[in-house]
Structure 1
Amino acid sequence: MSYTIRRLGPDDLAAYRAIRHEALANHPEAFVSTAEAFAQRSDDDIRRSLEALTVFGAVLADGSLAGINAFMRNDGAKENHRGWMIQVYTRPNHRGTGLSRALVEHLVNHASQHVIQLHLGVWSENEPAIRLYQKLGFETYGTEPRYLFVNGRYIDEHLMVRFLDKAPGA
């Protein structure tokens, strides 16, 4: 499998819309947004999101996306040292190939040019993602109980951080 990781822009709108909708529809427990609400967003609204966030995609040779993630930086003067990794999703047929790791490492490298710590939230039952994040130097610092209510059940979210100005595990 051959792919390149790059920042997505307005020309990637259709591919981004497709993979983001897939992520929200197939894993409602992993995201605050819903597939239904996302489907209602206009192309202009999604274009603005692609400009406001730094969205990375693993782009296959045919132009489709195998995975995405996004970087968001806090704006306030007292918290602009912190950033967030959000919208993490890899299509099922590309999981276990190293693509997810490459996407996260790419985002971490980008974030290290802008912030000194990178945060994320992950569904407490998503063991593969948690293991990957731990391997890449993220540590759990808390759990938000009942973070979401999805399909009749409460979803807890682990909060994780990686301090980019320290060696992982230091």
Structure 2
Amino acid sequence: MTFSIRQLSFGDVAAYRSIRHEALLNHPEAFLSSAEAFAEKSDADIRQTLDALTVFGAVLPDGSIGGMNAFLRNEGQKERHRGWMLQVYVRPEHRGSGMSKALCEHLIEHAREKVIQIHLGVWAENEPAIRLYERLGFETYGTEPRYLYVNGRYLDEHLMVRFLDKAPGK
């Protein structure tokens, strides 16, 4: 499969809206935001999101977005050394293709110039994602019990970190 990874910009509002809404609709257990709330966002709201986050898309030869993730650097003076990997999603037809790994590696390389550690939260039952993050050098440092309540069920979230200033697993 051929794709390239690039930062999404204001010209990508419709593509970002489409893939983000799909992610929220199909996997409510994996994201804090709801599909219903996201659907109400205006294009100006989406542009604000694209300005606040560094959003990467895996762009297919036809120009569509097959997967995405986002980076957010903490802004406080005492926490600027930390960043977050957010909104990780790959469309079902591209899972197992290496797209998720490529998106994460791209974000990690981008973050190296800005922070010394990357955090993420992952649904505790999402074993494929947890395995991927572990292969990429992330370690679980805690579990937030009952982080979300989705479809009548409480869901735990693992908190993971990758220290960029030392080798993975050290």
How is 1:46-125 mapped onto 2 (pairs within 5 angstroms)? 46-125=46-125
Q: TM-score, normalised by structure 1?
A: 0.99
Q: Name the CA distance, whole Å, in 2 between partners of 1:135 and 1:79.
A: 26
What SS does the aligned partner of 1:141 have?
A: strand
The one-character-per-residue Cα deviations of 1:46-80 (angstroms, maximum 9, x if unpaired) are: 01110110000000111111000000000000000
Mark the runs of 5 or more structure 2 residues left unpaired by the alignment: none
Q: Name the CA distance, whole Å, in 2 between partners of 1:132 and 1:142.
A: 17
Give the match for residue 153 of structure 1. Answer: 153
Partner AA of 1:72 in structure 2? L
What SS does the aligned partner of 2:75 have?
A: coil
What SS does the aligned partner of 2:62 have?
A: coil
Partner AA of 2:45 in structure 1? D
Residue 134 (structure 1) shift: 0.1
Residue 95 (structure 1) shift: 0.5
Partner AA of 1:98 in structure 2? G
Q: Name the CA distance, whole Å, in 2 between partners of 1:73 and 1:66.
A: 24
Q: Name the CA distance, whole Å, in 2 between partners of 1:13 and 1:46.
A: 6
Runs of 4+ in 1 over 6 A off after TM superposition: none
Mark the runs of 5 or more structure 1 residues left unpaired by the alignment: none
Partner AA of 1:159 in structure 2? L
Give the match for residue 43 of structure 1. Answer: 43
Q: TM-score, normalised by structure 2?
A: 0.99
Matched length: 170
